[in-house]
Amino acid sequence: MSVGIDCGTMFLVGARREGETIQYTSQRNCFLTIDEGNDVEDMLTSAGAKLIKMGDKLNVLGEDAIVFSNLLSSFGTNKAKLKRPMKDGLLNSQEETSAIAILQVLVEGVIGKPTEEGEICVFSCPSNPLNSDKNNVFHQAMFKQILSKIGYTPIPVNEALAVIYAENPKMGDGDAIMPMSGISISLGAGQINVCMSVRGYPVIEFSLVGSGDYIDEQVSVLSGKPVSIVTKTKEKNLDFNNVNYDDIVIAGLDIHYTDLLTNIIKRFSEKFSESGKVYDYPIEIVVTGGTAKPNGFEAKFKSILSSMDLPFEVKDVRMSGDMLKTVSKGCLIKALQEQKKVVGK
């Protein structure tokens, strides 16, 4: 057996094969920390929170952290602030000491213990971002350590390459058809990961920081509304087919999305031109991730794409299956391949 896990800034999503189907499990990647023995502990305990002790701190993890953080703020206390073990697609260095211990509990909650000794676990990892000094070396090493501690044999896979495995874009036609060949874009909370693959091998890979979280923060600043309200409006009401420019939050979101998508296509085009490669066939683009979920996203992306001068021909743009599960499905596919290699030896 083997397992895949998408280690995202906002969501951890696990995937396991059960017969002919895939079983997914997910959890919010966040936590709430409180000091033992204060009034907040009593309040949370009586509200039914499951408190997990780590060192001298008590923690509420995952979805519960959001529920109880909202509850506490409705009581007017800000003694327990919602935190994230990851920021911009990578381990959150400001939360470093607690982040790793918390992540281990969250990860184990999502994929459980290995079903056999040294079971393979393929986990998603972002590329190094073009627009930040941060790199993924520490992040990848720590995730390997977390998974090894639980008992898995960890193998990293690039997040955007996982999308290629899950969605199998194709290039060419007739006998010359090449599977696993195309461009994938994963628009998450922290990062945008981009890959161009030919027959499953990445020929271009990069990421950019400044995805969903960044848009929310920018629109919060320009509108004066709290980030949580902006995020809620974005997830519930944003519809690119019907943008009300009198609503400053909606207008701000639309403008920042336009800027983001234009920048992604521009950066990819630069990388494509630098590669010096020429392809005989038009290229398929697959898009996934929570940030690509609003209504009208596909049409907006296509319209920006067609307005730009591109160094390649586009075959089609399509949205992935379930946007929040695609990366973990790709991780599972890679894990099953790795498993076959071990069994075949």
Ligand X SMILES: Nc1ncnc2c1ncn2[C@@H]1O[C@H](COP(=O)(O)OP(=O)(O)OP(=O)(O)O)[C@@H](O)[C@H]1O
Binding residues for ligand X, per CB under 6 A? 8-11, 89, 188-191, 211-213, 231, 234-235, 238, 289-291, 293-294, 324
Residue 8 lies near Mg ion (rule: CB under 5 A): yes
Which are the contacts of 62, defined by CB distance < 8 A and separation ≥ 6?
A: 27, 28, 29, 30, 31, 106, 109
Tell me whether residue 104 or residue 291 sits nearer to Mg ion (CB atom).
291
Contact 234, 253 (CB under 8 A): yes
Q: Distances from the Cα of 154 to the Cαs of 122, 126, 148, 150, 335, in angstroms?
A: 6, 15, 6, 10, 10
**Total residues in contact with Mg ion, by rule CB under 5 A:** 2
From the list ligand X, Mg ion, none, pick the one residue 190 interacts with, judged by a Cβ distance below 5 to 8 Å according to partner type: ligand X
* Strands in the chain per DSSP E: 2-7, 11-18, 21-28, 31-35, 52-54, 57-61, 82-83, 86-87, 90-91, 120-125, 153-158, 182-187, 191-198, 201-209, 283-288, 314-319
Which one, 283 or 292, has the nearer CB to Mg ion?
Answer: 292
Q: Which is nearer to ligand X, 223 or 231 (CB)?
A: 231
CA 320, CA 317: separation in Å to the nearest integer? 10
Q: In terms of CB distance, is 89 or 169 closer to ligand X?
A: 89
Phi (first) and psi of residue 4, to 5 degrees: -120, 145
3-state helix vs strand vs coil in the chain, percent to 5: 45, 25, 30
Residues 257-286 that bind Mg ion (CB under 5 A): none
Among 173, 176, 227, 190, residue whose Cα is nearest residue 84: 190
User: Taking CB within 5 to 8 Å according to partner kind, which of Mg ion, ligand X, none is near residue 235?
Assistant: ligand X
Shortest Å distance, C-beta 101 to ligand X: 20
In the set 85, 188, 212, 330, which binds Mg ion (CB under 5 A)? Answer: 188
Residue 330 within binding range of Mg ion, rule CB under 5 A: no
User: Which stretch, 4-12, 133-141, 266-274, 278-286, contacts Mg ion (CB under 5 A)?
Assistant: 4-12
Q: Which does 11 bind (CB under 5 to 8 A by kind): Mg ion, ligand X, none?
A: ligand X
CB 87 → Mg ion: shortest distance, Å?
13
Q: Which is nearer to Mg ion, 188 or 252 (CB)?
A: 188
Closest distance between ligand X and the C-beta of residue 264, in Å? Answer: 13
Stretch that binds Mg ion, among 1-9, 35-43, 53-61, 198-206 (CB under 5 A): 1-9
Tokens 């920048």 label which residue? Answer: 263
Closest approach, Cβ 129 to ligand X, in A, equals: 11
Q: Find the shortest distance in angstroms from Cβ 165 to ligand X.
A: 16
Closest C-alpha among 193, 190, 113 to residue 157? 193
Who contacts 218 (Cβ-Cβ below 8 Å, separation ≥6)? Answer: 252, 256
Read off the tokens for 85.
Answer: 């073990």
Residue 341's φ and ψ, nearest 5 degrees, are -60, -40
212 binds Mg ion (CB under 5 A): no
Give the tokens for residue 59: 């923690």
Residue with tokens 């609003």: 294
Closer Cβ to Mg ion, 182 or 188, answer by number: 188
Q: Which two tokens stand for residue 305?
A: 């794409």
Instruction: Report which residue's Cβ sits closest to Mg ion.
Output: 188
Q: Is 126 a residue that touches Mg ion (CB under 5 A)?
A: no
The nearer residue to Mg ion, 62 or 188, going by C-beta atoms, is 188
Judged by CB under 5 A, the stretch of 147-155, 183-191, 244-252, 291-299 that binds Mg ion is: 183-191
Interaction site with Mg ion (CB under 5 A): 8, 188
